[in-house]
Amino acid sequence: MLKTMEGGCHCGRVRFRVTADLTRVTDCNCSICAKKGFLHLIVPPERFELLSGKDALTTYQFNTGTARHTFCKHCGIHPFYVPRSDPDKIDVNVRCLDFSGIVYHATYLRFMERGRTNHLRLVGAGHRALFEQASAEAPGFAFVVRSMQIEFLKSARMDDVLEVVTAPEEVKGASITLKQRILRADELLVEARVRVAFVCAGRARPIPKALRTAMRPDQERMGG
């Protein structure tokens, strides 16, 4: 369903109006979009209107120069641009729309990614030799997501205080299944099971024994 919305940059100099369908939002993992946190809403130019701030805009281009990455030269925020994939359209940053009050569903994925990273950090916090041993056995190792099952149960609102709970559910030779929950106080909002693989030099490898052992106490507390 088409909806007319307004948005802008952080300092307020750039303001725009767009008519679009918010069910067609996409998340790109290219180098520049990942660093900017850009959520894409591509519309034809007749559905976009720049209300103010034309003189506050400047443009960054790279590689082919087809994409024109437009941002406010005062606050640095990137509210919209002309995309390389659709150079005859306007790509609006959903995060620059005026608050809907609801947390966008893809944001929970970033919350959980940070939860997994912090979980591994905490596992190694009291076991410095643990990660040194893992690095010696598999230099440059990393955990990568192999699969995910996720249930969005309730919505969080802007300014809610959320807790991300991460714990191993199953530890195998070359992978770990993690149970992750996002809560608002005692209210469960999102629940996921994430299988991550232990990778070194682009290939799956057995998780070093010391690292598997360090994770098992958490697994036992969960009844795994």
Number of C-beta neighbours around residue 97 at 10 A: 20
Please list, in sequence order, all residues whose beta carbon lies within 8 angstroms of the beta carbon of residue 74, skipping any fewer than 6 positions away.
9, 11, 13, 56
Confidence of residue 128 (pLDDT cuts 50, 70, 90): low
Given the DSSP bridges, would you call strands 187-200 and 3-8 parallel, antiparallel or unpaired? unpaired
Nearest in space to 159 (alpha carbons), one of 103, 98, 77, 96:
103
List domains and CATH numbers for the chain: 3-96 (2.170.150.70), 105-221 (3.10.129.10)
The one catalytic residue in 27, 86, 91, 98 is: 98
Q: Residue 130 — very low, low, confident or very high, per pLDDT cuts 50/70/90? A: low
Total residue count of the chain as it appears in this document: 224
For 172-191, the pLDDT digits (tens) are 888 889 999 999 999 999 99
At 194, the pLDDT band (50, 70, 90 cuts) reads very high
- Is 98 annotated as catalytic? yes
Give the model confidence (pLDDT) of 145-172 as tens digits.
999 999 999 988 877 899 999 988 888 8
Report pLDDT for 126.
47
The per-residue pLDDT for 89 is 94
Q: What pLDDT, in 10s, does the model give residues 41-75? A: 999 999 999 999 999 999 998 888 878 888 999 99
Name the band, by pLDDT with cuts 50, 70 and 90, for residue 86: confident
Give the pLDDT score at 217.
Answer: 53
Tell me: the pLDDT tens digits for 13-41?
A: 999 999 998 888 888 888 888 888 889 99
Angle between helices 128-137 and 209-221 (to 10 degrees): 130
Name the average pLDDT for the chain. 85
